[in-house]
Chains A and B, each alone.
Chain A
Amino acid sequence: AQSVTQLGSHVSVSEGALVLLRCNYSSSVPPYLFWYVQYPNQGLQLLLKYTTGATLVKGINGFEAEFKKSETSFHLTKPSAHMSDAAEYFCAVTYSGSARQLTFGSGTQLTVLP
């Protein structure tokens, strides 16, 4: 079984400050990890993903995440927050198998303060 825990349902940062959204996963097999962003009344947009290879993954809009197996973490960071980053962010896990459903965390609502 696999699961995802996102620490902090709400995170507030000032514009220009570092964004750090935390994600820890549990998986009995090597995981594939994703970060998605959701704007109000919209679907999910893929920010970045880790499957194999380099553990530091760069995504869209200046976001990046690092897969740390020893810490079972996949935290999302952005050096400088922008007002347009305000949205809900979801971490998700799946694995290499024939039926690869995504298991999502409960989400983190990011607020960017002017």
Chain B
Amino acid sequence: QVQLVESGGGLVKPGGSLRLSCAASGFTFSDYYMSWIRQAPGKGLEWVSYISSSSSYTNYADSVKGRFTISRDNAKNSLYLQMNSLRAEDTAVYYCARIYSSRTRTFDYWGQGTLVTVSS
């Protein structure tokens, strides 16, 4: 069965950095686009970024562009999110999600999330 397990969250000071990881199993990771989506406490979902199956294409929400970098290692079945220059408003649970296909951009499987808290 498809499993996505995020890790790497924690408490970080404003201006600091953090790297999130997502370990994928139960499917051929290298065949799928992947995405990060976040949810601030008590708020709705906010799409953060996506990466194509071969890392050729990426895109970011305006709120994180220039500060966050998405990457993947298909040999390790892993997705990453490097977060720099963190702000209080980046505090959220971060989910990795599989994208059904490059044409049908449904987030068909999600992980359980990892909490990032940005506070002094």
A, B assembled together: no
> Residues of A at under 8 Å CB distance from B?
none
> Residues of B at under 8 Å CB distance from A?
none
